[in-house]
Structure 1
Amino acid sequence: MYLINGELTDKLPANDRAVQFGDGCFTTARVSAGNVRFLEQHIGRLQQACEKLLIPFIDWSLLETEMQQLAAAEQQAVLKVMITRGSGGRGYSAANCLQPTRLLSVSAYPSFYSQWREQGISLALSPIQLGINPHLAGIKHLNRLEQVLIRTHLEQMPAQEALVLDSDGWLTECCAANLFWRKGSQVFTPYVDKSGVNGTMRQHIIACLADSSWQVTEVREKLDSLGAADEVLICNALMPIIPVNQAESWRFNSRELYQFLAPLCE
């Protein structure tokens, strides 16, 4: 199901800037029992992205209402929301783009996430590295070719998710998830100020840990840092949190941090 500017249709104009340039942003939310989980945070990330991309979207109350209306009919689903700059001319100039486009879609919730949560997963290093761009880092813009390539390579590996470095070799994230690891009571997650996505679940976990006995720190570390970890986990708005059994050749048996966070992330 697609809802484009309030109309049930699957037709987007060929001159929409999302088609022409990937000019827009998106968020992907989990629907549970007819409700959008972490709705406020998803609206906030879209607002931040539109501000960075200079997209003059103002219909936030309408968008929130549409999100809630689509979710109300679903017991468990995925709700994706895109905001594009709208339709415009051939070139890069946005001068002729007068009305942003809002596009919402609902799809089935991935059934394998429950198995991942129960059994844990493995991570493999991706040969694709993320480009460094501080202005676009953190936000979920529509230019996702890096992730498409990461996923394509991942599908050829015996692992469920990828470990992704930036072009300077710093550990950054996974293909579609953020990364945390624990050493004792210290919890670490990579900075995403130069590349990567500052996911809504990543932000939620950092906030939960800040109010706990765990000590959470954003870091720039190389891949080998995982070798000294007691525990590794990944997260996104849909999973929402998954324990990692193995990353490259390193194995992890602890679920201490996972068991603390799991009920807080539902």
Structure 2
Amino acid sequence: MWINGEAATTLPAADRSVQFGDGCFTTARVLRGEIQFLPEHLARMQRAASVLHIDGVDWAAFEREMVLAAGQQEEAVVKAVVTRGQGGRGYSSAGCSAPTRIVSVSAYPAHYHALRQGGVKLALSPVTLSKNPLLAGIKHLNRLEQVMIRLHLDQTDADEALVVDTSGCLVECCSANLFWRKGNQVFTPDLSQSGVDGVMRRHIIRLIENTSRWTLHIVSEPAEALSDANEVLICNALMPVLPVAKASGWHYPSRDLYDFLLQNC
């Protein structure tokens, strides 16, 4: 792990990420020493920092540190975090002028390889996501909703959670975005009120919009919208895309869209 470019494993207790979850992060896949979709990961971090009004990040140094962390890895995960740093009194950020950069590397989740073969099982989570259009889409450090979702998921035999918001509309999974197909119509949840707009989600949307084979719709629909889907899949920057075999008792034998995306993700 590197903190502001120096090898370290501890962070000051006064850092605002510890005190308030004041920051943002991204998680990237490494293949043969290279970070996949690195420009997109940096762009999402810059957007999140802008939304949070975290100024003064040395983005060039941040990129160098991410690349250095990935350099000797065949297949791994690089996690990059920006916090507002230290300073301020209470919630006030006045006086915070030196953001903290954190870069770490870890093993690639081996179970993703197995799930590509057998497919993912989704369980509807009892934990709903709150709506907040200001923070919707960005991957900020306040992840308590996901912690609670994962807590309940670990009590089931499912691989991932199917998550709705407080209005009962589909948003995402615990750690992945969601797509489903009905005929040649492809759907993904509207993330303008809650959820994380992932790097791979954006890539898949571009792929579908650039082909005449399917038509994409961004929708606000309940979980029952999956009941008559031909195909469901989930994605994130690490998976990068996985087929869903079962969700809340509904089964999906088709992999037409998945096979297309697998060749381009």
Q: TM-score per shorter chain, which class?
A: over 0.9
SS in structure 1 of the partner of residue 162 of structure 2? strand
Distance in 1, matches of 2:57 and 2:146, equals 29
Distance in 1, matches of 2:198 and 2:52, equals 17
Distance in 1, matches of 2:62 and 2:216, equals 34
1:57 CA displacement: 3.4
SS in structure 2 of the partner of residue 118 of structure 1? helix
TM-score normalised to the size of structure 1? 0.98
- The residue number in structure 2 matching 1:81 is 80
**Aligned-residue RMSD, C-alpha:** 0.7
- The residue number in structure 1 matching 2:175 is 176
SS in structure 2 of the partner of residue 50 of structure 1? helix
Distance in 2, matches of 1:173 and 1:233, equals 11
The amino acid across from 2:145 in the alignment is: E
Distance in 2, matches of 1:57 and 1:163, equals 37
Give 4+ residue runs of structure 1 displaced > 2 Å after superposition: none
1:241 CA displacement: 0.3
SS in structure 2 of the partner of residue 228 of structure 1? coil
1:20 aligns with 2:23: no
- The residue number in structure 2 matching 1:44 is 43
State how 1:36-115 maps to structure 2 within 5 Å.
36-115=35-114
Distance in 1, matches of 2:215 and 2:39, equals 26
- The residue number in structure 1 matching 2:218 is 218
The amino acid across from 2:264 in the alignment is: L
- The residue number in structure 2 matching 1:243 is 243
SS in structure 2 of the partner of residue 102 of structure 1? strand
Asked if structure 1 preserves the Cα contact closer than 8 Å seen for 2:186 and 2:217, the reply is: yes
Distance in 1, matches of 2:242 and 2:43, equals 24
SS in structure 1 of the partner of residue 263 of structure 2? helix
> Any idea what the Cα deviations from partners look like across 1:113-156, whole Å, max 9, x if unmatched?
00001110110000000010000000000000000000000000
Distance in 1, matches of 2:69 and 2:120, equals 31
- The residue number in structure 1 matching 2:227 is 227
State how 1:157-168 maps to structure 2 within 5 Å.
157-168=156-167
SS in structure 2 of the partner of residue 141 of structure 1? coil
Asked if structure 2 preserves the Cα contact closer than 8 Å seen for 1:15 and 1:90, the reply is: no
Distance in 1, matches of 2:60 and 2:183, equals 44
1:61 CA displacement: 1.2
- The residue number in structure 1 matching 2:139 is 140
1:249 CA displacement: 1.1
- The residue number in structure 1 matching 2:200 is 201
SS in structure 1 of the partner of residue 205 of structure 2? helix
- The residue number in structure 2 matching 1:262 is 262
Asked if structure 2 preserves the Cα contact closer than 8 Å seen for 1:133 and 1:194, the reply is: yes
* Further displaced range: 147-156 or 85-94: 85-94
The amino acid across from 2:243 in the alignment is: P
> Any idea what the Cα deviations from partners look like across 1:44-101, whole Å, max 9, x if unmatched?
0000000000000331111111111111111110000000000114400101211000
Distance in 2, matches of 1:107 and 1:257, equals 30
The number of residues matched between the two structures is 264
> Any idea what the Cα deviations from partners look like across 1:24-45, whole Å, max 9, x if unmatched?
0000000000000000000000
SS in structure 2 of the partner of residue 158 of structure 1? coil
Asked if structure 1 preserves the Cα contact closer than 8 Å seen for 2:56 and 2:97, the reply is: no
Distance in 1, matches of 2:27 and 2:84, equals 18
Asked if structure 1 preserves the Cα contact closer than 8 Å seen for 2:133 and 2:193, the reply is: yes
1:130 aligns with 2:129: yes
TM-score normalised to the size of structure 2? 0.98
- The residue number in structure 1 matching 2:29 is 30
Asked if structure 1 preserves the Cα contact closer than 8 Å seen for 2:125 and 2:163, the reply is: yes
Asked if structure 1 preserves the Cα contact closer than 8 Å seen for 2:170 and 2:189, the reply is: yes
SS in structure 1 of the partner of residue 137 of structure 2? coil
Distance in 2, matches of 1:48 and 1:9, equals 27
Asked if structure 1 preserves the Cα contact closer than 8 Å seen for 2:178 and 2:235, the reply is: yes
